[in-house]
Amino acid sequence: MIISRTPFRISFFGGGTDYPVWYRENGGRVISTTIDKYCYVTLRVLPPFFKYKHLLRYFEREEANTIDEIKHPSIRECLKYINMNKNIELVHHADLPAQSGLGSSSTFTVGLLMAGYALNNQMRTKNQLAHDAIEIEQRRIGEAVGSQDQTAAAFGGFNRINFGGHRELEVTPLTISTEKMRNLQDHLMLFFTGFSRNASDIAQKQIEITSSKTKELDFMVELCKEAEELLVSSENGFLEWGELLNEQWKVKKSMTNLITNSKIDEMYEQAIRSGALGGKLLGAGGGGFILFFVPPEKQDQIKVNLSSILHVPFRFDFSGSQIVYHSTND
């Protein structure tokens, strides 16, 4: 039996510049972190006593006799990609709901690949794992997704990720002091809006309008550069970092009317009135999780004023996808 654990991610700056249609011509850049909320994939060889050869349990239950019969696109394509020739039982658990803006689908793909390679007695580097997941989601399944979610899940940590050029992607950990990292985490508050959305529809719309949004996407790249400079070089850049998040949110929601709605706008404005310096809806938009940058002394008031939605405490994760259990006896 194999169990992989793969972290979800929070993207701070640069989202939208990680779509291949943009970065292959213009280059892309994001700042993101993984957090201590995880996707778990359990994989084992299925004993030969059943009428089916593959048993899959995620939000549905599937029984299949061939990999091609599997309905779940990511499971089917991952197993084909790694040439899985064993009968398998797969179980998926997660700390957070799907379609919520934290890269859940890509996190699952990375975690499944990690577990599948381990069951096949194969090893892949973090870079190979990220590229494999991108290949499966973008080209084999044809999902309207960018390239940051798979990369963050595979590598883990607080990073700047560059896209484009001959290397396609490059991950650079942001080196800041332990005290500054702790201070940053202490200023962040994560809430679940209470409703999810189909991210691929919103992402597809963003992809379609990319050529007409050059000014906005260039500005997002510049905000990403400025945020990194504040964090790495400035001693007193925390308040400005929150304000930059606010600037990015304004640009992001101007991209398409699918990104926000009246309920989300009301939550955001309530948080700003209560002391938040900035924030953003995570992921493609439309629902899921919303992040705020809040001075610690204002956070109790934020919790009171946003008591209708769920506050989700978190800390950064620096491990990336990994095998947490491996036994040949199960």
CATH number of residue 16's parent domain: 3.30.230.10
Classify strands 88-94 and 54-57 as parallel, antiparallel or unpaired. Answer: parallel
Same domain, 158 and 197: no
Same domain, 12 and 107: yes
Same domain, 152 and 183: no
Cβ-contact 64, 54 below 8 angstroms: yes
Same domain, 170 and 185: no
The domain that contains 282 carries what CATH number? 3.30.70.890
Same domain, 299 and 321: no
Q: What is the pLDDT of residue 239?
A: 82
Q: How far is CA 258 from the centre of its chain?
A: 19
Q: Give the domain extent around 219.
A: 178-315
Q: What is the pLDDT of residue 199?
A: 62
For the chain, give the secondary structure using H, E and C. Answer: CEEEEEEEEEEEECCCCCCHHHHHHHCEEEEEEEEEEEEEEEEEECCCCCCCCEEEECCCEEEECCHHHCCCHHHHHHHHHCCCCCCEEEEEEECCCCCCCCCHHHHHHHHHHHHHHHHCCCCCCHHHHHHHHHHHHHHHHCCCCCCHHHHHHHHCCEEEEEECCCCCEEEEECCCCHHHHHHHHHCEEEEECCCCCCHHHHHHHHHHCHHHCHHHHHHHHHHHHHHHHHHHHCCCCHHHHHHHHHHHHHHHHCCCCCCCCHHHHHHHHHHHHCCCCEEEECCCCCCCEEEEECCHHHHHHHHHHCCCCEECCCCEECCCCEEEEECCCC
Same domain, 153 and 267: no
Same domain, 260 and 299: yes
Span 231-290, pLDDT tens digits: 888 666 678 899 999 999 999 888 877 788 889 999 999 999 999 999 999 976 677 899
Query: Domain count of the chain?
Result: 2
Same domain, 232 and 153: no
Same domain, 85 and 185: no
How far, in Å, are 226, 242, 283 from residue 176 at the CA level? 15, 17, 25
pTM: 0.94
How far, in Å, are 47, 158, 174, 228 from residue 161 at the CA level? 42, 10, 10, 11
Same domain, 78 and 157: yes
How far, in Å, are 45, 56, 76, 131 from residue 60 at the CA level? 20, 8, 14, 28
Same domain, 96 and 21: yes
Same domain, 143 and 289: no
Span 26-64, pLDDT tens digits: 999 999 999 999 999 999 999 989 999 999 999 999 999
- What are the residue ranges in the chain where pLDDT is below 50? none
Q: What is the pLDDT of residue 236?
A: 61
